Amino acid sequence: MSPPVKCFYGLFVSIAVLFRRPRPRLTPVTRGDAVRRILELASVKVGSGERALVVFFDLRCPFCAKLFRETEEVLLEMAQRGLIIYAMCDYVVHREAEHLHRALRCISEGERLGFIREVFSGKRVETGSCPEGNLRECEKVAEEVGVYGTPTLLFYHLGKDRGYVHFGYMSPSEVMETLSSL
């Protein structure tokens, strides 16, 4: 290969590597006891089954909002059909979101997804005055399985007592692929 061609080829390979989308980084989890505790503490829990998806979220996290808007409908449908347990667990990163998370915990379980939907769509919501409750408990248990920020997705097969944690946004297709791999 002549020097100009070699240089061009090297540049092409470098650009290809830059734009290639890496596969999601999944960290193995085998702490079934912690996962079950997280499911008990989750502010939202829909469905039943052996496969669970827990999303750790902050109501002021823009990537949490993006993930929610893109996946909520399909995950809720799967949960209602009994294919998965879809849960959302508070993990407050932004201080200005604390009052929203407290308010979420003060409303009935049936209204919580609607509240989250409104917050993530940018609507102004009434928060009132609510005690903290077990907001921080969920965060403490989440850290036992490797959660350190938002959004974090915990994919877990309860029957096999194994799963994965992924930190950061995932596309809907990546979420579905990871769920089906459990």
- pTM of this structure: 0.84
Predicted pLDDT at 63: 97
Q: Return the CATH class of domain 26-181.
A: alpha beta
Domain spans of the chain, in order of start: 26-181
Q: For residue 139, what pLDDT is reported?
A: 87
Q: Which residues of the chain have pLDDT under 70?
A: 1-24, 132-134
CB neighbours of 72 closer than 8 A, spacing ≥ 6? 113, 117
Confidence (pLDDT) at 10? 43
Which of 144, 156, 137, 155 is closest to 91 using CA atoms?
137
* Closest of 62, 51, 117, 112 to residue 86, by C-alpha: 51
pLDDT of residue 129: 76
